[in-house]
Amino acid sequence: MIIELLVGAAAGFVSGCGVGGGTLLLLYLTAVVGVAQRTAAGINLLYFICCSPTALLLHFRRRTVQWRQVWPAALGGAVTAAFAAWGTVYIPTDWLRRGFGVILIYIAFRCLQPAFRRRK
C-alpha cells in the first residue's frame, strides 16, 4: 500500500508537470506488479481521470493553456484513442508491450539527445 501511494505520488508529480505520469504508472504496474498490459492501461485511464482535473485547473489559472494547439491535438487524440482502445482487443499483448517499449526508448533518446550535442 505504501509503495503504491509513493508510485501514485510520483506519477502525480510528473503528471502535474504535464509530462505524462501515466508512463511511470504503466511501467510500475506491468514491470513490477505484473499486471497485464490491457489492465494496466485501464487503471492508468482511471488514474488520469482522477489526477488531470487538478493539474488542468492550475494550468488554466496560470494561463498556460494555448487553445490554438489544444483543439487540433484533442480532436486527433480523441479519434486515435477510440481507435486504439478498440484495436487493443485484437492486438496481442506482446505486441502492445513491445510497441510501448519502443516508444519509451525513442522518448528517452530524444530527451537525452541535447546532452550529447557539442557545445560551441
Q: How far apart are CA 111 and CA 120, in angstroms?
A: 20
- pTM value is 0.66
Say whether pLDDT at 101 is over 70: yes
Q: Give yes or no for residue 120 having a pLDDT over 70.
A: no
| pLDDT tens for each residue of 15-54 | 777 777 788 888 899 889 999 888 888 898 888 888 888 8
> Cα angle at 39 between 71 and 98, to 5 degrees?
80
Q: Quote the pLDDT of residue 59.
A: 84
> 20 with 14: CB under 8 angstroms?
yes
Q: Is 63 left (phi over 0), alpha (psi -120 to 50) or beta?
A: left
